[in-house]
A and B are shown apart, each in its own frame.
Chain A
Amino acid sequence: MATTLTPKTTASVGKAILSARNLHKIFKTPEGNDLLVLDNINLDLAEGEIVALLGRSGSGKSTLLRCLIGLISPSTGEVRYRNRLVTGPMPGMAMVFQSFALFPWLTVLENVELGLETQGVPEGERRRRALAAIDLIGLDGFESAYPKELSGGMRQRVGFARALVTNPDVLLMDEPFSALDVLTAENLRAELLDLWEERRIPTKAILMVTHNIEEAALMADRVLILSSNPGRIISSQQIDLPRPRDRNDPAFLATVETIYRAMTTPEAAFVSAAAVGFDHAGLGMRLPEAEVARIIGLIERVDAGPDRGRDDLPVLAADMQLDADDLFPITDAAELLGFAQTREGDITLLPEGVKLARSDIQERKVIFAEHLMNRVPLVAHIRRVLATRPDHRAPRERFLSELEDFMGADEAERTLDTAIDWGRYAELFEYDAREGRLRLPENGG
């Protein structure tokens, strides 16, 4: 993204501070199978830059962040911080958490001071620095408040103060604004960028994990995009726009569009190309977490949209007020079910999708059911099992343990829940949540 505007701040990008080499992370499923989460990650975080790590949910971006800071160990490969091998959390690195991770029983001041306790800072000095950090981050007057007395935005300010008080060299942030409402997030983002631009914090580099494309485009000098299952860095884009960036600036919009394109390549998509080979058994296929109503809503919206069956994703996201993280599972699902195709940051309805959009409720169910049976092996499998059982019933656990051969327990749970949600809508089977049992509908479906 070469732009005509002069890059004011990113000129001083220097040598790498934090780097990962050939990093792999393998988790064990409950069944004891290996699950590759991160695949051959190589990255460098250089002095003077803000890097955003983007990816769908389940792309392992939080896992990568935790490997980088030393909270978890890579299965193979290594992480180095200023040329030292990272074998655990190091001095010089600080982290901001999505859920703030404040100690509820400590006051704001005590929470912030905690960051200095292991640094051997004498008591008086510790208090002075904590108060300075609190002041810096705009929390004056709240020193003796407990976190539960504060709003979400104020809590995350404490999270920032606690990280910044240690004068960190590298700041790692795990979706720091995603638990905040839009306005608060905007405000906090801008203040952090001010501190960074005006060099009021000694931090040399920032790495943030996010699923919000606009956020990444607003803040980062470089955006790395992770593919899903397993996580691989599939794209790295430089953004040389001066900050603060204007949302309506054509160059900015172009940047957002580029990121959308990169995120809608087949390999970035939630359901990777290999798993979508519809003809094989494919029980291990993860299903995107999207409710039926939202899938159909999206299809209807695209069908009725200005371009009639075709839409630009950034525009769609803005219109529908959806985060990329909310939007992508829906487009993925539409694509998986064969109703739409997402390429180059655009969504295009397939004929079947148009048909679905223009049908009445009963017809929709029939179409949906047909696509489910043909394209989601798990749903077809559940139908088959139920049909062969004399009482046409089977416990949910039965399918769950099958799925756990292929994926982690949480992932299996999510995938099965999605399959059940879709199958119920299509009236392919019924589900009794109390007993945790699936059964064929009375009239045979």
Chain B
Amino acid sequence: MRATFPDAGVLRPRFKLTPWDLVVVPLVIVVILLLTIAFRGAAQPFDAATPDLTVSLDPRNLPYYGLRTVFRMFLAVLLSLLFTFTVATLAAKSRRAEVVIIPALDFLQSLPILGFLTVTTAIFLGVFRGSLLGLEAASIFAIFTSQAWNMAFSFYHSLITTPRELREAAAVLRLSPWKKFWKLEVPFAMPSLIWNTMMSVSGGWFFVVASEVISVVGRDNDQYLPGVGSYIALAIEQANVAAMVYAGLTLLIIVLIYDQLIFRPIVAWAEKFKVEQSEAQEVAQSWMLRLWQRSGFAGNLNAIGAAVQRALPPLPVREDPGPRVEVRPDRRPIDRVIDRVWYALVITVTLWAVWFLAVYMFGPGLGFGDGRVLAANPNVNSGLDPEIARQFAAFGVTVNADQTVWLSEVCAATAGGTQVSGGMAGLLRDERVGAPEDLAAACAIPMAPAGKVAWSEVLTCLWLGLLTTMRVVIWIGISTLVWTPIGVWIGLRPRVAQFVQPLAQFAAAFPANLLFPIAVVLIATYALPQNLFQAPLMILGAQWYILFNVIAGTVAIPNDLKEATRVLDLRGWAWWRKLIIPAIFPAFVTGGITASGGSWNASIVSEVVSWGGTTLTLSGLGAYIAHWSTGEFNPHVGLGMLVMGLLVLAFNRLFWRRLYALAETRFRLD
């Protein structure tokens, strides 16, 4: 070999500083400091003796609240990534794990996210006994559930579609599974993982507002974790307009910082992971990334990493053959036996889980008694007033932890409504209680056990689900009709698109529930029809996905197609039908799926909105779940989540997936 090789040292990074480090180094120190402050706040003690957590509406607290919220968001994303890297990898590597994980993820991602908050609070409080971290964890977990499934799905999909030639190359180079994961699989998955994370975080801001106010069993009042979400919740309760404006500004700034300092640099950096044959015309840019790359800091970090690696004992030289890359591996007879055992186990556990769920929801007898279908057992004390609950308790009526009193309990205490004492009669006549006029007659109907779901309620739930479905369909339709022409108009003008695209992404990240009170005030003041003015709230945050996907789809239309239609003199409807609609269809479907998922989730928040003393309720599944999510997890919340989960699943399977398949086969531009 020739001796003119460049010296190896030429390419080795040296420890060096550049003027850019004057900005980058302080920035890094500030971030570390802020994280420390946030963590100290989150790790405070919290036990029975701690007074109820609350927030102050003084705007001077907002920077700190913002920090705490961002901290939660940050941890939730980290957890989601951890979950993604482990669970999705397991699903992609093990066929047996796959049959369990993939359907589970599919179902989990259709479940209404907020329902989880009630399930997990108790668990986390138990895990972090005596520390605020329990509540923090519950809040973080709620955000986590809005992100993890989606990200795991995207990662799994990338893993199973890793190009065969690259897998073969990795095998021939005998990369270890660990190396292969970081050098091949993660980089290949990076663009879609980042895109999904970005979408998930945008959705996460929406739920931050809802996940920071937590009800804790054993406490009369909700706990307000320090954060912007709690601040907003309190401002809404107190109808404080100024506080809402401050909160809005804070969120605006947070989302802006997050967009500029974190996501844009990452997206720009991830350009290199795109598997494409030639260089793209337009490449995402980020000033932050350039700053980071020009500073010596990143290089120094690398140098430190390399130094650490050098200090470690070298990996043993592997002489053994690497793993094969089979097209369709032959299965040995023993594998088939293990498969059968495994599937039998999965089916058994699934059946057991279904049985457990049924018993949990419908109670002993599964909603049947004496050969009849049981009627709903109404929650007599619908006002949840602690004072009234105490009075009931005085009469020997069992009061549940979440301050509910069930009709069946009252019946038990009054011998089926036949022996009502004077005091009890007075209490029952209290209009806040809302007891049935003829207690004896009401008690004579066989009722589902206290707290359990009656069969009739399932029908109600399905009906409510149908209402919500219709709302989602109608409003997705309307926003499609509104945004498609606008998006196409923008997409055909690259200059405008360049400017609008980031704006639309930003709008999607800005939590729309901040604007809900405006709708409440308008509807209440002018007595506007709720169905027309409250229902669109669910699409408020989700519509942007349609807009920016339509823009992206239009921008991507090849120039020669556009020119061909000009030559053919296609105009008006023909131009839409022959060029635009087919061309933007795949992008639109992607946007539509995201938007409809978002509006399903938003329905829980948007079907019940309030401002001060005014609460507007729209009957629907979201309102049903919100109504029952006021204490610990109960069978009604379970039923609501289950119905919504199944509806979303069905909706996706029957509608979106078909459109998607159509987009994949018929309307591909490449």
Count of chain A residues near B, Cβ 8 A: 50
Say if the beta carbon of B100 comes within 8 Å of chain A: no
Q: How far is the CB of A159 from chain B (nearest CB, A)?
A: 9
Say if the beta carbon of A122 comes within 8 Å of chain B: yes
Specify which chain A residues have a CB less than 8 angstroms from the CB of B172 in the assembled complex: 69, 71, 89, 93-95
Q: Could you say which of B2, B190, B306 contacts A135, with CB atoms under 8 Å apart?
A: B2
Q: Compute how far the CA of A88 lies from the CA of B172 in the bound complex, rounded to whole angstroms.
A: 9
Tell me if A104 and B183 are in contact (CB < 8 A): no
Tell me if A103 and B321 are in contact (CB < 8 A): no
Q: How far is the CB of A94 from chain B (nearest CB, A)?
A: 7
Say if the beta carbon of B165 comes within 8 Å of chain A: yes
> Which of A86, A104, A124, A131 has its CB near the most chain B CB atoms (within 10 A)?
A104
Specify which chain A residues have a CB less than 8 angstroms from the CB of B275 in the assembled complex: 104
Q: Could you say which of A28, A115, A131 contacts B328, with CB atoms under 8 Å apart?
A: A28
Specify which chain B residues have a CB less than 8 angstroms from the CB of A2 in the assembled complex: none
Tell me if B322 and A200 are in contact (CB < 8 A): no
Say if the beta carbon of B612 comes within 8 Å of chain A: no
Q: Compute how far the CA of A128 lies from the CA of B330 in the bound complex, rounded to whole angstroms.
A: 42
Q: Compute how far the CA of A62 lies from the CA of B515 in the bound complex, rounded to whole angstroms.
A: 61
Q: With A70-B324, A88-B322, A104-B275 in contact, do A115 and B173 touch (Cβ < 8 Å)?
A: yes
Tell me if A123 and B317 are in contact (CB < 8 A): no
Q: Could you say which of B168, B183, B277 contacts A106, with CB atoms under 8 Å apart?
A: B183
Say if the beta carbon of B12 comes within 8 Å of chain A: yes
Tell me if B324 and A90 are in contact (CB < 8 A): no
Tell me if B317 and A71 are in contact (CB < 8 A): no
Tell me if B175 and A117 are in contact (CB < 8 A): yes
Q: Could you say which of A88, A146, A434 contacts B272, with CB atoms under 8 Å apart?
A: A146
Q: With A118-B173, A434-B666 in contact, do A128 and B272 touch (Cβ < 8 Å)?
A: no
Closest residue on chain B to residue A29 by CB atoms:
B328
Closest residue on chain A to residue B277 by CB atoms:
A148
Q: Compute how far the CA of A71 lies from the CA of B321 in the bound complex, rounded to whole angstroms.
A: 10
Tell me if A97 and B165 are in contact (CB < 8 A): yes
Say if the beta carbon of A127 comes within 8 Å of chain B: yes
Say if the beta carbon of B438 comes within 8 Å of chain A: no
Tell me if B328 and A101 are in contact (CB < 8 A): no
Residues facing A in B264-318 (CB within 8 A) are 272-279, 306, 309-310, 314-318
Q: With A27-B328, A105-B273, A434-B666 in contact, do A88 and B179 touch (Cβ < 8 Å)?
A: no
Residues facing B in A103-131 (CB within 8 A) are 103-106, 109, 114-115, 117-120, 122-124, 127-128, 131
Q: With A97-B169, A146-B272 in contact, do A71 and B325 touch (Cβ < 8 Å)?
A: yes
Q: Compute how far the CA of A89 lies from the CA of B173 in the bound complex, rounded to whole angstroms.
A: 8
Specify which chain A residues have a CB less than 8 angstroms from the CB of B274 in the assembled complex: 104
Q: How far is the CB of A410 from chain B (nearest CB, A)?
A: 11
Tell me if A135 and B321 are in contact (CB < 8 A): no
Closest residue on chain A to residue B279 by CB atoms:
A148
Say if the beta carbon of A99 comes within 8 Å of chain B: yes
Tell me if B330 and A71 are in contact (CB < 8 A): no
Say if the beta carbon of A42 comes within 8 Å of chain B: no
Say if the beta carbon of A212 comes within 8 Å of chain B: no
Say if the beta carbon of A132 comes within 8 Å of chain B: yes
Say if the beta carbon of A228 comes within 8 Å of chain B: no
Tell me if A88 and B11 are in contact (CB < 8 A): no
Specify which chain B residues have a CB less than 8 angstroms from the CB of A70 in the assembled complex: 321-322, 324
Specify which chain B residues have a CB less than 8 angstroms from the CB of A146 in the assembled complex: 272
Closest residue on chain A to residue B190 by CB atoms:
A105
Say if the beta carbon of A136 comes within 8 Å of chain B: yes
Say if the beta carbon of B614 comes within 8 Å of chain A: no
Say if the beta carbon of A359 comes within 8 Å of chain B: no
Closest residue on chain A to residue B275 by CB atoms:
A104
Closest residue on chain B to residue A81 by CB atoms:
B321
Q: With A104-B272, A148-B279, A434-B666 in contact, do A88 and B310 touch (Cβ < 8 Å)?
A: no
Q: Compute how far the CA of A71 lies from the CA of B167 in the bound complex, rounded to whole angstroms.
A: 10
- 0/1 string, A51-83, CB within 8 A of B gives 1: 000000000000000100111110100000000
Say if the beta carbon of B94 comes within 8 Å of chain A: no
Tell me if B187 and A105 are in contact (CB < 8 A): yes
Q: Could you say which of B2, B175, B325 contacts A72, with CB atoms under 8 Å apart?
A: B325
Tell me if B273 and A118 are in contact (CB < 8 A): no
Closest residue on chain B to residue A124 by CB atoms:
B8
Q: How far is the CB of B618 from chain A (nearest CB, A)?
A: 42
**Sample (16) of A-B pairs whose CB atoms are under 8 Å apart:** A27-B327, A70-B321, A71-B171, A71-B325, A75-B330, A94-B172, A95-B169, A101-B165, A103-B183, A103-B187, A114-B183, A115-B173, A118-B318, A127-B8, A127-B11, A143-B11
Q: A71-B168, A97-B168 are in contact. List 18 more A-B contacts (CB 8 A).
A: A66-B168, A69-B172, A71-B172, A73-B330, A87-B324, A88-B171, A91-B174, A101-B163, A101-B166, A102-B169, A105-B273, A118-B318, A122-B314, A132-B1, A132-B5, A136-B1, A200-B1, A434-B666
Q: Which 9 A-B pairs have the closest CB atoms?
A: A88-B321, A120-B317, A101-B169, A101-B165, A89-B322, A105-B187, A127-B8, A95-B172, A118-B174
Interface residues of A (CB under 8 A from B): 27-28, 66, 69-73, 75, 86-91, 93-95, 97-99, 101-106, 109, 114-115, 117-120, 122-124, 127-128, 131-132, 135-136, 143, 146, 148-149, 162, 200, 434
